[in-house]
Amino acid sequence: MLHEYPHHVVVPTRWADNDVYGHVNNVEYYAFFDTVINRYLIETGGLDIHRGGVIGLCVESHCAFHAALAFPEPVLAGLRVGTLGRTSVRYELALFREGVEAPAATGWFVHVFVDRDTRRPAELPEPLRAALAALVL
């Protein structure tokens, strides 16, 4: 249910997202997850992906497929934070078809934040932590 996710964003599908079977290919669901998360981190958390000292690396992801999505319909993505640690975060996501209450896909994505140069774990900067804390249920 969309109301279980405090952040929502519409993700447009593209012609190239469909596979030969006429629906969005499974790999694109992961791209939707990655896009929703990183857009939130940049726009709300102030993450500087080009020059910031801390970056997020994906160490785990999962997607369960419940129903097909297809171009040209837009995807409504819901985002929340399941676990917020000192250097890591587990996001929980759901993708919905417009006007459909049940999700077409659900999943999670884990970032470990590291120093850009050393690639060693680094504490989340305060603006980023505050933005993520707002999504914890």
Chain segment 20-77, per-residue pLDDT in tens: 999 999 999 999 999 999 999 999 999 999 999 999 999 999 999 999 999 999 999 9
* Total domains in the fold of the chain: 1
CA–CA distance, 107 with 91 (Å, rounded to integer): 8
Is residue 114 within 8 Å of 55, Cβ to Cβ? yes
- pLDDT band at 2; cut points 50, 70, 90: confident
Task: Note down the domain range covering 18.
Answer: 2-133
CATH of the domain at 39: 3.10.129.10
Report the alpha-carbon distance of residue 106 to residue 62 in Å, rounded. 8
Q: Which pLDDT tens digit goes with each residue over 76-108?
A: 999 999 999 999 999 999 999 999 999 999 999
